[in-house]
Structure 1
């Protein structure tokens, strides 16, 4: 079945029945192999499948660029899905040289560096390597000619000798449902080869209005579905995975970016501005600045989105009343821009990685604000909340706000009480929490049904966190970070069945064993105990912690034994043990953790380290299945025990 099976009109009922009977008769009692190449529509495979005789000796091979279609074809365990990976640098080079220098398959002198640069743009994609190699094989093989072709590759893709490659890439975009096209085109806003954080991308989609809630699903969950579908369709690639198995940051292949930029320009979706020669008009709706130290155009009354990737200065125009998204992270910025207070429609504001020190009270005027990102600024350690913070009822992310105040009914104390109005929060970070404010905070958090991440730090490492008053814990909480002494382990934590990551620091629990309190949380993926327990033993009981991948134990100064019973921690991949000076031996039962890939020992006694050495270490046989074992002093690797 040659050619691309793009969606086409379905045949009428009579034709389908006749064709089905004919094909079934031909294949009956025969062994066959059928290849369906470049499948684009699910109904095509369903039409084929229903007429095939049941025959385990025959074979069917289907190729498709869409992961969702591949999964739909897998109706039982006998069907194998093979995901094609980009070619390795060596294989990519061999293929490119074979196509570009067909005479002998060797790169002529003087073209090596240019060839490597072109291969980087191909990013291991065989189709791109073949088509660009063929195109270059028709050109004079001189450095000057190749340099010009390299610089004009984008124009060649859209109108020159590589237009076929653009057509193939565009077919994937054209096949997208309407709601995903804008989400995909949004990648044109970010610089090429710049990793894009998953959470940031989804929050931007939401602020733009590209994602809407569905029945029983939050808007963030729908955004995750959109991203996963674009990944399944091989349009967006995963650069790095997060600890919980989700993409941490994503991107697009270089050639695909060229196609995105072309479509984005044609549809006036986004203008990428690199200086005075930039092509923008008064109708520009989205502006992306990707060059250092340039002044953005000032008169853009229809602008909805302003994103800067520049590390230099960024000037924000005053005539931007319709702006919904302002993301200028990394800009050379010392003070909070005064113009922001007038952007009353703003839904997303990121000043991450700038040098601003405070935020003004006028921020309360931004009633539609959903995301306020102040990470890696000079207010990250905690900022005083502006007056009437409770007015920002659409806010979804708030961190880190100071809870400290000089008097019991101080403004900061009233701020804690006012948090109960922020019912749309998904992420909350509180620092400098006084013991007496714990009850008010628990009451406020109990009204945040959409909260996914909670980070609470006490006033200092001597002041206890009083969090026992929580009667209605957030049902969707996935990340919990508690930093401060705990007189008792909060019982409500044991009911957080969606929890995937928990970090306890300075807890110094004496009576309550955190392992026993957390053992029934079957979705827990990462557990960090940092100066969190004063007991002598940690026992991981059989059949518990079935999904835990990362275990981090630090400064448990009284700990003498870690016991891992049979059947516990079956998927543990990374373990950190640090500053546990009394630990007598490696965890008992660690030899049964067959998925364990990394064991990192920080500032552990030399006798402990010596016992794991290859030559004569008395505990070596228990850890020999672990590929990577390292001993560190003051953060530096001093001995590789692998």
Structure 2
């Protein structure tokens, strides 16, 4: 087994027993740890995924969930996990804290449970520590003085709450601004609602994962973080990003903030989510312009939670334009959109689209149709509609379809589809 593959296997020892490992998170951690070298032809994230898939092929890891041919989550068998833990301990590669022993020399320390805050209160100083990770459900408090570890590259504190300046939660403690070597900052489900200005001091930061928190309504300024590769959170307030050539993941950003970005610099963006809600951004709402996606040649996943999104396809030239804008798109989700035009007619020509979902969308007093040979690679179509009178699918359309879900909330939708697709249909309020 190659050295890089061994490192990836040993790193799996950081996760608790029977833990469903999010592959995206694992990839971000491996890259931040410096275990992945960038290939001339492949980005580091692609190389890391290749290693994980090789571990799966060798039956060292089990694929748990697969979407669009990619492993989304995985697990490691208990016996193999024990092997990884023992070898990692022998090599002083990872120290998993327990009540009896904690290392003061290991560069990576992991806590799987709070243990009544014993670790956080009694931990001895480890000046060599480069990574600290917590996994598991928690609502404990982090004492800010325990985070004075200036050499940290990886900090994952999902589930904790920060007790600083007498205010629990809400904002990150100032001490994090001193962790200038951080590559990975995970603050998932920490009740944080504000990213302070000192985030600009973390010039090496690659991943900011602030998902599963409340809405970030204030201004989040990331303009000085030019090495950012993944930004995850619900930024309904203004999100400022400048040189974003390394950015691959952006979830999620308001349409107003999106309109202010330099879209030409987003050449490596793979995963994008744009969000609008009148309750928060009504005064600054900016309609999405289709041309703002024109430079996103490698975009794979797009989710739009917007009231209106115009796909113009009144001419054959316009249909070709859609094809040109999204040549790599594999998954598209529209949420809460009023569909004044039939989106299926234009989107059916996207060459790599495999998943399409319209959630809580409204197509009042109108039909949607898919022409012959439309959606050649589509495997999953989900239509959760407020209203849809009729869906017409031509005989040779969607040859790869595996699942069709159609739910109409207000009245039944007339479904005209080939017999071969009827076994794929799941849903209610449908008539044939």
TM-score, L = length of structure 1: 0.59
Deviation per CA, 1:366-400, whole angstroms, max 9, x where unpaired?
Answer: 0011111111112xx2342344x210111122244
Count the aligned residue pairs. Answer: 405
Return closer, same or farther for 1:298/1:590 CA change in 2, 3 Å cut-off. farther
Q: Is the 8 A contact 1:301 1:319 kept in 2?
A: no
2:300 paired with 1:478: yes
User: Which of 2, 7, 12 is 1:187 aligned to?
Assistant: 12
Corresponding position of 1:219: 44
Q: Is the 8 A contact 1:494 1:520 kept in 2?
A: yes
Query: Which range moves more in the overlay, 569-578 or 445-454?
Result: 569-578
**1:362 CA drift (Å):** 0.6
**1:288 CA drift (Å):** 0.6
Return closer, same or farther for 1:390/1:509 CA change in 2, 3 Å cut-off. same
Q: Distance in 2 between the 1:547 and 1:471 partners?
A: 22
Return closer, same or farther for 1:493/1:502 CA change in 2, 3 Å cut-off. farther
2:391 paired with 1:573: no
Corresponding position of 2:125: 299
Across the aligned residues of Structure 1 and Structure 2, the Cα RMSD in angstroms comes to: 2.4
**1:555 CA drift (Å):** 2.6
Deviation per CA, 1:4-28, whole angstroms, max 9, x where unpaired?
Answer: xxxxxxxxxxxxxxxxxxxxxxxxx
Corresponding position of 1:445: 263
Corresponding position of 2:375: 545
Corresponding position of 1:230: 55
Structure 2: state its 5+ residue gaps.
163-167, 313-317
User: Which of 159, 173, 195 is 1:330 aligned to?
Assistant: 159
Secondary structure at the counterpart of residue 416 of structure 2: coil
Corresponding position of 1:384: 218
Deviation per CA, 1:524-574, whole angstroms, max 9, x where unpaired?
Answer: 1211123254462221122221222221212352x3221111222233233
Q: Distance in 1 between the 2:38 and 2:227 partners?
A: 15
**1:251 CA drift (Å):** 1.5
Q: Distance in 2 between the 1:358 and 1:455 partners?
A: 20
Structure of higher RCO (CA pairs closer than 8 Å, 6+ residues apart): 2
Corresponding position of 2:391: 562
Q: Is the 8 A contact 1:550 1:572 kept in 2?
A: yes
Q: Decide which structure has greater strand share.
A: 2
**1:402 CA drift (Å):** 4.0
User: Which of 259, 264, 273 is 2:83 aligned to?
Assistant: 259
Q: Distance in 1 between the 2:328 and 2:362 partners?
A: 22
User: Which of 583, 592, 597 is 2:420 aligned to?
Assistant: 592
Deviation per CA, 1:389-438, whole angstroms, max 9, x where unpaired?
Answer: 2101111222446465xxxxxxx4xx55xx2412211111344434xx66
Q: Is the 8 A contact 1:299 1:319 kept in 2?
A: no
Q: Is the 8 A contact 2:95 2:103 kept in 1?
A: yes
Q: Is the 8 A contact 2:263 2:295 kept in 1?
A: yes
User: Which of 271, 275, 297 is 1:457 aligned to?
Assistant: 275
Counterparts of 1:321-360 in structure 2, within 5 Å, are 321-333=150-162, 334-335=168-169, 336-360=172-196
Q: Is the 8 A contact 2:236 2:276 kept in 1?
A: no
Structure 1: state its 5+ residue gaps.
1-175, 405-411, 612-618, 620-642
2:107 paired with 1:285: yes
Counterparts of 1:425-440 in structure 2, within 5 Å, are 425-434=247-256, 439-440=259-260
Corresponding position of 1:364: 200
Return closer, same or farther for 1:228/1:301 CA change in 2, 3 Å cut-off. same
Q: Is the 8 A contact 2:236 2:275 kept in 1?
A: no
**1:356 CA drift (Å):** 2.0
Corresponding position of 1:466: 288
Q: Distance in 1 between the 2:10 and 2:205 partners?
A: 24
Q: Is the 8 A contact 1:438 1:465 kept in 2?
A: no
Q: Is the 8 A contact 1:549 1:574 kept in 2?
A: yes
Q: Distance in 2 between the 1:349 and 1:471 partners?
A: 28
Q: Distance in 2 between the 1:376 and 1:438 partners?
A: 21
Corresponding position of 1:245: 69
TM-score, L = length of structure 2: 0.86
Return closer, same or farther for 1:377/1:230 CA change in 2, 3 Å cut-off. same
